[in-house]
Chains A and B, each alone.
Chain A
Amino acid sequence: MKRDLNHPSQPITRLARGVALGGLFTAGLAMSAGAQALTVISFGGASGDAMEKAYYGPFQESSGIELTPGDYNGELSRIRAMVETDNVSWDLVEMESPELVRGCFEGLFEPIDWERLGLGDVLIDSAFNDCGVGTFVWSTVLAYNADELDSAPTSWEDFWNVEDFPGKRGLRRGAKYTLEFALQADGVPASEVYDVLSTDEGVDRAFAKLDEIKEHIQWWEAGAQPPQWLVAGDVVMTSSYNGRIAAAQEEGTPLEIVWDGSIYDLDYWAIVAGSDYVDEAYQFIEFASQPENQAVYSSEIPYGPVHPDALDELDDEQARRMPTHADNLDGALAMNTAFWVSYGEELEQRFNAWAAQ
């Protein structure tokens, strides 16, 4: 809130600051001098563990640069607050694409100097962003519990077909993904989904399609929920992030994935504007983009590498689980980040109003 320094309450703030500094709390200052190292923030959990193994540890070893890992749940506001108060303690952050694009426009991230990164143009196209370097590809897929269904669904049309595939369905509570899936179920080919959705009629059409199965939908909030529900048999099919489904398959659960009509998106590395460790951050990104390191990450968790050569280092069975495998990309849809950055708020509001009725 830089501008808040100018608004009327400032004298009080200054007084507050005087009281705070002069009085009780000086002890805290001595303790607040955080670690002097590159701070890398990811989404934690299983993916964070895979990063630890594939990137953090080996990078520290090979570069000698000290690294402090941390995690968050995607709070863009935390980054905005850091930048606006010029108090940047996170250097490198794992970002989802809409937040990356929004933050990039608002000046929250250092623009990426691709020359300096020295990666050439080997990465897949969507890994290049003004403010971020893609690090893995994940996908929102249709997943189902094979034990609960007599026949296997193959498309979003089947997802909408409650006669032949009875049972509850899970979808993410929100407009994102939901509207795209609805249009595909209504017969819109993947390549035209965002064109249709850009029109008012298209949005109405998507909501009308959703009306058809509204009563059968159980909405999920956290990505951890849909695999849990599938395993418990609480829903027969659901949209879900692909990574956790694959992990469930390895544990011997009867879960299956339909890749057709899935929506893939990337997570990016972004350097927070004003970071003291820009050089080290570039070194880290370069390290994390090498095919052999990417392969280690992808063998830990089935999110697709952005370096095409990394797929070759995986065995065939593993490679087939990746959203970036050629078979899986066929019929899949790339998340249109620009669309959601522009229309996200109004569509989410309409979705929430619709869903609550």
Chain B
Amino acid sequence: MTTTTLDGGAAAPSKSNLKSRLRRAERLRKLKAVGLVAPLALFLLVVFVVPIGNMLFNSVDNGSLRQVMPQTAASLAQWDGEGLPDEATFAAFADELRDSRSGGGLGSVGRRLNYEDSGYRGLLMRTLMALPPQSDDWRETLIDIDSAWGDTATWRGIKAAAPPRTDRYLLASLDLERGADGEVQRVDEEDRLYQAVFQRTLVIAGGVTLICLALGFPLAYLLATLPAKTSNLLMILVLLPFWTSLLVRTAAWIILLQSNGLANQTLMTLGLVESPLQLVFNRTGVFFAMVHILLPFMVLPLYSVMKGISPSYQRAAVSLGAHPFAAFWQVYVPQTVSGIAAGTILVFIMALGYYITPALVGGPADQMVSYYVAYYTNTTNNWGMAAALGSILLAVTLLLYLVYHRLVNRKQMIGS
């Protein structure tokens, strides 16, 4: 950055000269702005966007068969799916199956084919064990080893894994699949899961955000308007939960909320309820624990914005005869919009990604998208499904964010 901006030349410039100078100054300002953002953008591009993009690419990647068995994939792509494939395909397959043993190729093909039908893994293993080094008629040899090779459906399954890209994971993440005729259709009713999961993820995150706003706004207002010596002490109470790990806080809520926990005992001693309420391992428990964890993320941005708001505007409004409530609502609140925006965005987005807390204090109907992402990533190695669920979550969230950003910006422009 240099200090050339508006350095005010001594001689009065001509009109056109001024215009171009202004334009140049404006351009310079933009450049400087970009220069300030660039380090972070570059950093994130390198350490985050590219690596995570690579991972998310798994959601459409179908490369394993093509890579491990290129000839089989190529000749099956030519095959029309009627009757058995030709001898050349059988021969290529037998060759490539034998070679796939080394370097984990068999594993990745088996993993991929198993998504078509859970029998492939075993079939490939059995076939490999019995595969002779030479054969004049591979078709007969393979069918002798396992009759499944004489079934057109077996080959159709492999054909489905042949194209370089697939939409099966993305479709499956929305409870959709391709039927026998290639048409997209909904999966069986008893297997429908993910649409509901996405919906509940948004509902829980939205609910948590609203509750945090309702609890956090008054608290932030109090903290911002109290004298510093009191507010700083109260701030310690807001910050303390930060120092207790997620696991500790979750455990605490279970202790408080379980059937004969402290909350229920208190309620029963007071005679407010007769039998214990179910407060945890359901949606209520999720809300308690998540709001507790995320409330500071609402309070602090609000507080830091409110700290910068001068009370004189509101006072002026009151002295001009406005009702204090009206003055608060029409003069004060609009000035906090940027704080509300920041707090709600933080809380909402963080809530979307939570899964350890709902897993420990929620019921089966409270598990969020990330829970399934973790299951597919860590337990079954199905990175295609994990990446597909993650990509959809990312896309939906960013879309919501952009819309929200627009709305807030417009509101701020009207407000100012």
Which A residues lie at the B interface, using CB under 8 A?
A: 1, 3-4, 6-7, 9, 12-13, 16, 19-20, 74-78, 80, 83-84, 98-99, 102-103, 105-108, 168, 173, 218-219, 221-222, 225, 228-229, 232-234, 273, 338, 341-346, 348-350, 352-357
Q: A74-B379, A80-B381, A106-B381 are in contact. Are A225 and B106 (CB under 8 A)?
A: no
Q: Which of B58, B104, B191 contacts A346 (CB 8 A)?
A: B191
Contact of B258 with A232 in the complex, beta carbons under 8 Å: yes
Contact of A102 with B380 in the complex, beta carbons under 8 Å: yes
Q: Which one, B45-53, B147-155, B299-307, B321-329, is touching chain A?
A: B45-53
Q: Which one, B91-99, B115-123, B341-349, is touching chain A?
A: B115-123
Contact of B191 with A353 in the complex, beta carbons under 8 Å: yes
Q: A105-B110, A344-B380 are in contact. Are A168 and B118 (CB under 8 A)?
A: no
Nearest chain A residue, comparing its CB with the CB of B108: A106
**Chain A hits for B45, CB < 8 A:** 16
Expressed in whole angstroms, the Cα–Cα distance for A105 and B372 within the complex equals 23
Please give the distance in Å from B38's CB to the nearest CB on chain A.
13
B412 part of interface (Cβ distance < 8 Å): no
Contact of B359 with A221 in the complex, beta carbons under 8 Å: yes
Contact of B379 with A234 in the complex, beta carbons under 8 Å: no
Q: Which one, B19-27, B178-186, B222-230, B362-370, is touching chain A?
A: B362-370
Q: A16-B45, A83-B104, A106-B108 are in contact. Are A348 and B375 (CB under 8 A)?
A: yes
Contact of B193 with A349 in the complex, beta carbons under 8 Å: yes
Nearest chain B residue, comparing its CB with the CB of A74: B378
Contact of B46 with A16 in the complex, beta carbons under 8 Å: yes
Nearest chain B residue, comparing its CB with the CB of A219: B364
Which B residues lie at the A interface, using CB under 8 A?
A: 42, 45-47, 50, 53-55, 57-58, 61, 63-64, 67, 103-104, 106-108, 110-111, 114, 118-119, 121-122, 125, 190-193, 196-197, 254-255, 258-261, 281, 359-360, 363-365, 367, 372, 375, 377-383
Contact of A352 with B367 in the complex, beta carbons under 8 Å: yes
Please give the distance in Å from B169's CB to the nearest CB on chain A.
12
Please give the distance in Å from B92's CB to the nearest CB on chain A.
20
Q: Which of B42, B111, B122, B281 contacts A218 (CB 8 A)?
A: B281
Which residue among B55, B360, B380 has the maximum number of chain A CB atoms within 10 Å of its CB?
A: B380
Sample 19 A-B pairs with CB under 8 A, ordered by A number. Answer: A9-B54, A12-B50, A19-B46, A20-B46, A75-B378, A83-B104, A98-B379, A105-B106, A106-B110, A168-B259, A221-B359, A273-B104, A342-B118, A343-B118, A350-B190, A353-B191, A355-B364, A356-B193, A356-B365
Please give the distance in Å from A255's CB to the nearest CB on chain B.
16
**Chain A hits for B383, CB < 8 A:** 77
The 10 closest A-B pairs by CB, nearest first: A106-B107, A107-B104, A355-B364, A356-B365, A107-B107, A16-B46, A353-B193, A342-B118, A75-B378, A234-B258
Nearest chain A residue, comparing its CB with the CB of B188: A350
Q: Which of A105, A106, A233, A353 contacts B260 (CB 8 A)?
A: A233
Expressed in whole angstroms, the Cα–Cα distance for A153 and B15 within the complex equals 96
**Chain B hits for A344, CB < 8 A:** 380
Contact of B54 with A1 in the complex, beta carbons under 8 Å: yes
Q: A80-B381, A105-B107, A348-B375 are in contact. Are A353 and B57 (CB under 8 A)?
A: no
**Chain A hits for B254, CB < 8 A:** 228
Q: Which of A103, A229, A353 contacts B258 (CB 8 A)?
A: A229
Contact of A106 with B365 in the complex, beta carbons under 8 Å: no
**Chain A hits for B378, CB < 8 A:** 74-78
Please give the distance in Å from B376's CB to the nearest CB on chain A.
8
Which residue among B54, B360, B383 has the maximum number of chain A CB atoms within 10 Å of its CB?
A: B54
Please give the distance in Å from A12's CB to the nearest CB on chain B.
5
**Chain A hits for B104, CB < 8 A:** 83-84, 106-108, 273
Contact of A353 with B54 in the complex, beta carbons under 8 Å: no
**Chain A hits for B111, CB < 8 A:** 105-106
Expressed in whole angstroms, the Cα–Cα distance for A269 and B259 within the complex equals 40
Contact of A342 with B122 in the complex, beta carbons under 8 Å: yes
**Chain A hits for B259, CB < 8 A:** 168, 233-234
Nearest chain A residue, comparing its CB with the CB of B192: A353
**Chain A hits for B57, CB < 8 A:** 4, 7, 9
Contact of B110 with A232 in the complex, beta carbons under 8 Å: no
- Given A221-B359, A342-B118; 6 other pairs, CB 8 A cutoff: A3-B61, A76-B378, A102-B380, A108-B107, A338-B122, A356-B367
Expressed in whole angstroms, the Cα–Cα distance for A344 and B121 within the complex equals 13
